[in-house]
Amino acid sequence: MINDEKLLNTIKLISLKNALDFNNNIKFDVVLSKTFSYSKKTKNNIKDLIPEIKEIISKLSLLSIDEKKNQYDVILNSANHYLNESIHINDKNQIGFKESNKNQGYEKKSHTHQSFELPPLIEAKYGGVITRFPPEPNGYPHIGHAKAAIIDQEYAKKYAGKLVLRFDDTNPAKEKLEYYKAISEGLEWLKIKPDIVKNTSDDIEVLYDYGRKLIQKNCAYICECNSELIKINRSNGISCNCRINDIDINLNKFEDMIIGKYQQNDCIVRYRGDMTSLNTAMRDPTLFRIIRDIHPRVADRYSLWPTYDFAAPIEDSLDGVTHAFRTKEYELRNELYFAIISDLGLNEPKLIEFSRLEFEGIPVSKRKITPLIENGVIQRWDDPRLPTLLGLKRRGILPEAIRRFVLSLSITLSETKPSMEILESFNRKILDSTSLRLFFVKDPVEIHLDKLDFDFVEIKNHPNLEMGKRKIGVEKIIYISNDDAIKLKIGDSVRLMDLCNIEIMDFDSDDVSDKSGKEKEKEKEKGRKYIIAKNVGNELSHNVQKIQWVSKRDSMEFKILKPMPLYKGDYYNEDNLIIDKGLAESFVSKLKVGTIIQFVRYGFCRIDDTSTAIFTHR
């Protein structure tokens, strides 16, 4: 049982806000993620809180939207919660809290809706904060890169500081010029403009100098053991004979490595850590290795390349980085990061961790994505099934929606996977006021009207906003979706939106004379060729179902690609793309590629070519 009333109220506020922001639905994973940071303050184990969080969500879900709004305002105004205390990061990855006069966790936007704000940084001086985004150019940027880059930029902006874009390009075997370009273009799409752009490969000579300094201080040595022996020794905490070589021997070998006297895999430079450390990252990790591949920027100028473990702390310090953000997967390597900085006497940035971002069934791991590309399962990096920025863009996800989504998650170490629906909800709010409303019918079925007294109809492009009108040529043959057609019975009345009301008179189906009973009726529904209907006027009624339609006179064949999750758990999902075929009004052919529209009663879609769209979301 939660005995801390302030924590209890905090969980309720997080849950209620989630409902108010996302169509009256409370997402457990979102509430859990945001509760994690506050549980640390009260020294509660988040796992112990899970049953009670579920119970709180269950009770709050029963309330109406108005009851949720009222309860939210009452609890918020009581100030008996932790939302007026902001999370911050202090010494070497420790989470703490900083008192604030504002509700910095939640900034009021309207009388009911509020948005989560990034917590303040410890020891951050206005105008003095420098953050960095250090992607490796070994692939196309994805949603996880977007989270890191947005957080880096937002903090630099928050403190009027600077953002460094540093390409961590120290593995020529994996890097390509196209990846540098893709990352730069992805950041531009996200409206992220770094103040400084550089490459780690520009600093190789500097990094060699720092390698020499570590060897001179006996903090590093040259190891000529084979990779399998190194792996076994590190696993068992055993030092090798190379560790006892004196400093001069190590320095000479290092210079020979630089000038190319050794071949790949002959030897490596290792940090002199502690081979018995419980933290295996400190068991003499690799600092330099020989890679003979041609580098995309510096060609074959170097063959001795630093690892990320060695280059990152040095580059951060030299670039003046004050607050370095990186994902939780590096937490065991933080000790090494600070050890190298200490040994070299460099300035020490604040190191801040956050959880990786990926969605269920849509992995960001190159281990899962790259084989799909290499084996031709997926042809391009902009495939809308992928979480790459190109894939999300082609799907119709807007950069501003990604930014709002990332900021709503804030900084957390909780390893939860947020629902794709949350990103979609942010995207929907933006698209709702900018997208034309058009008609598409899947698996079309003809309706033959008895009469229609006009040749065209004029329809508003948006039901509530001034976005112009369009003319649609009409005749007595109209198409509706088969999903709607199979539900109709003789005598039913429906409204063809913005056209007229009709009464179903009869059906004409494929020959089912050899069938009988329920089977005959089922086959008759599936096999309908057309519907005979009577035009019964244009009087509006709230009691009549409204369906979209397409005119035979003014239609075109159209298909919509619906991306589905690539994986179910750890297994590849064979059914990861649905293709809906049908008819759209011919007005669609006039739209430019990239235009995002809403097909009424179907969903938002992005035009991919003159006869195809990508399904964005409902």
Classify residue 429: in a domain, yes or no.
no
Q: Taking each helix axis from N to C terminus, what angle separates 334-344 and 308-318, rounded to the nearest 10 degrees?
A: 60
**Domain check: are 316 and 180 in the same one?**
yes
**Domain check: are 126 and 94 in the same one?**
no
Q: What is the pLDDT of residue 510?
A: 54
- pLDDT tens-digit series, residues 260-281: 999 999 999 999 999 999 999 9
**Domain check: are 160 and 298 in the same one?**
yes
Which residues pair with residue 167 across a beta bridge?
A: 199
Classify residue 377: in a domain, yes or no.
no
**Domain check: are 543 and 564 in the same one?**
no
Classify residue 302: in a domain, yes or no.
yes
Classify residue 217: in a domain, yes or no.
yes
CATH code: domain of residue 536 = 2.40.240
Residues whose CB is less than 8 angstroms from the CB of residue 207 and which lie 6 or more positions away in sequence, other chains included? 200, 306, 310, 311, 314
**Domain check: are 257 and 330 in the same one?**
yes
What's the whole-number mean pLDDT along residues 449-473? 96
Residue 289 or residue 100, greater confidence: 289
Distance between first and last Cα of the chain: 39
What's the whole-number mean pLDDT along residues 358-366? 85
What is the Cα–Cα distance from 562 to 120, expressed in whole angstroms?
40
Q: What is the band of 177 on the pLDDT scale with cuts at 50, 70, 90?
A: very high
What is the Cα–Cα distance from 97 to 301, expressed in whole angstroms?
48
**Domain check: are 505 and 591 in the same one?**
no
**Contact criterion met (CB below 8 Å) for 478 and 497:** no
SS3 of 242-289: HHHCCHHHHHHHHHHHHHCCCCCCCCEEEECCCCCCCCHHHCCCEEEE
Domain count of the fold of the chain = 4
Residues whose CB is less than 8 angstroms from the CB of residue 201 and which lie 6 or more positions away in sequence, other chains included? 167, 169, 170, 295, 297, 298, 302
Classify residue 375: in a domain, yes or no.
no
**Domain check: are 532 and 581 in the same one?**
no
**Domain check: are 30 and 44 in the same one?**
yes
Which residue carries 């109209």 as its tokens?
Answer: 478
Q: What is the pLDDT of residue 114?
A: 39
Q: What is the pLDDT of residue 98?
A: 39
Q: What is the band of 517 on the pLDDT scale with cuts at 50, 70, 90?
A: low
Classify residue 281: in a domain, yes or no.
yes
Classify residue 526: in a domain, yes or no.
yes
Out of 62-76, 92-106, 110-124, give the one with best mean pLDDT: 62-76
Range of the domain at 150: 121-357
Nearest 10 degrees: Cα torsion 528, 534, 537, 543:
-50
Last residue of a domain, one of 510, 532, 548: 548
- pLDDT tens-digit series, residues 276-300: 999 999 999 999 999 999 999 999 9
Last residue of a domain, one of 71, 92, 115: 115
**Domain check: are 136 and 97 in the same one?**
no
Question: Going by DSSP bridges, is the β-strand pair 130-133/162-167 parallel, antiparallel, or unpaired?
Answer: parallel
What is the Cα–Cα distance from 446 to 239, expressed in whole angstroms?
79
**Domain check: are 253 and 337 in the same one?**
yes
Three-state DSSP class for residue 559: strand
pTM: 0.80
What is the Cα–Cα distance from 566 to 361, expressed in whole angstroms?
6
Alpha helix ranges (H) inside 62-103:
65-78
Phi–psi pair at 19, nearest 5 degrees: -65, -40
CATH code: domain of residue 571 = 2.40.240.100
Which residue carries 């770094």 as its tokens?
Answer: 194
**Contact criterion met (CB below 8 Å) for 577 and 564:** yes
**Domain check: are 231 and 333 in the same one?**
yes
Question: Going by DSSP bridges, is the β-strand pair 304-306/286-290 parallel, antiparallel, or unpaired?
Answer: antiparallel
Classify residue 366: in a domain, yes or no.
no
CATH code: domain of residue 295 = 3.40.50.620
Q: What is the pLDDT of residue 367?
A: 82
**Domain check: are 487 and 568 in the same one?**
no
What is the Cα–Cα distance from 397 to 389, expressed in whole angstroms?
9
pLDDT mean across residues, the chain: 89
Instruction: Give the dihedral sign, CA 162/163/165/166.
Output: positive
Residues whose CB is less than 8 angstroms from the CB of residue 361 and which lie 6 or more positions away in sequence, other chains included? 565, 566, 567, 568, 573
Three-state DSSP class for residue 547: strand
Which residues pair with residue 299 across a beta bridge?
A: 295
What Cα–Cα distance (Å) separates residue 342 from each residue in 207, 310, 326?
16, 12, 19
What is the Cα–Cα distance from 378 to 307, expressed in whole angstroms?
31
Last residue of a domain, one of 548, 565, 591: 548
